[in-house]
Amino acid sequence: MLGVIDLPTYLAGLVLIVLLPGPNSLYVLSVAARRGVRAGYTAAAGVWCGDTVLMTLSAAGVASLLQANAVLFGIVKYAGAGYLTWLAVGMLRAAWGMWRTRRERVAEAVESEAAAEERPYRRAFVISLFNPKAILFFVAFFVQFVDPGYAYPALSFVVLGAFAQLASFLYLTALIFSGTRLAAAFRRRKRLSAGATTAAGALFLGFAVKLTLASAA
């Protein structure tokens, strides 16, 4: 089908990959839990747009450039790691404020102020975009299911990318509606909210370290 081979195997691998936790899905879940369905989908739109850009770059051969140019790969890698670290520090600061604050009104004021300043789409888009390993992954994974004899391999990438976006849409939708259910519990239990925010910040720091240690090969 349009140069795509062994589609069932691709779909099975895609499901496993999408289910792996990452900074994109974690951020969408966090936004949905704090601000509701609409904000969750706004963040998810940022993820989908960022992934679309990466898939397009992959099909255009940018992944080969990143693999061949260690300096360029390093720039993108450290920029992405720096941004993830900045987000993690912000989450940990917010969590620290929640732990120190025992009064309901003060905690809600801090949460409202943070929500007003946050731009879910932009943050999710940048998180998704500053991930050179994702570009390399798209090429390494997609190319296994493209018929080398097909005259229009870019079209094959489009088909594979469309399936990937569909899987991402279904998964993030599940996270968004799960997040709204968690929101009620977070509002009732400030310690739970603070603990979850601390865990999210620590995970983002872990993602930043992992990205820093990544190599182009």
Rounded distance between C-alpha atoms, residue 128 and residue 82, angstroms: 13
Nearest to 202, CA basis, from 61, 29, 85, 119: 85
How far is residue 83 from each of residues 65, 78, 91, 177, 188, measured CA to CA in Å?
23, 8, 13, 27, 31
Per-residue model confidence (pLDDT) at position 215: 61
Per-residue model confidence (pLDDT) at position 136: 64
- The residue type of 5 is I
Positive or negative, the Cα torsion across 113, 119, 120, 126?
Answer: negative
From the CB of residue 148, how many other CB atoms can be counted at a distance below 10 Å? 8
Per-residue model confidence (pLDDT) at position 42: 94
Rounded distance between C-alpha atoms, residue 20 and residue 23, angstroms: 10
Average pLDDT over residues 135-158: 74
**What percent of the chain clears pLDDT 70, i.e. is strictly above it?**
65
Whether the per-residue pLDDT at 100 is higher than 90: the answer is no
User: What is the DSSP track for 46-110?
Assistant: HHHHHHHHHHHHHHHTHHHHHHH-HHHHHHHHHHHHHHHHHHHHHHHHHHHHHHH---HHHHHHH
Distance of CA 145 to the CA centre of its chain: 24
- Could you report the per-residue pLDDT of 9-39, keeping only the tens digit for each? 888 878 877 776 677 888 888 888 878 889 9
- Could you report the per-residue pLDDT of 167-179, keeping only the tens digit for each? 999 999 998 988 7
Per-residue model confidence (pLDDT) at position 169: 93
Per-residue model confidence (pLDDT) at position 110: 42
Quick check: 6 and 155 in contact, CB under 8 A?
Answer: no
Nearest to 217, CA basis, from 73, 82, 79: 73
What is the chain's mean pLDDT, rounded? 75
Q: CA dihedral defined by 125, 164, 203, 207, rounded to 10 degrees?
A: -70
- Could you report the per-residue pLDDT of 36-85, keeping only the tens digit for each? 889 999 999 999 999 898 888 877 776 566 667 777 767 767 776 776 68
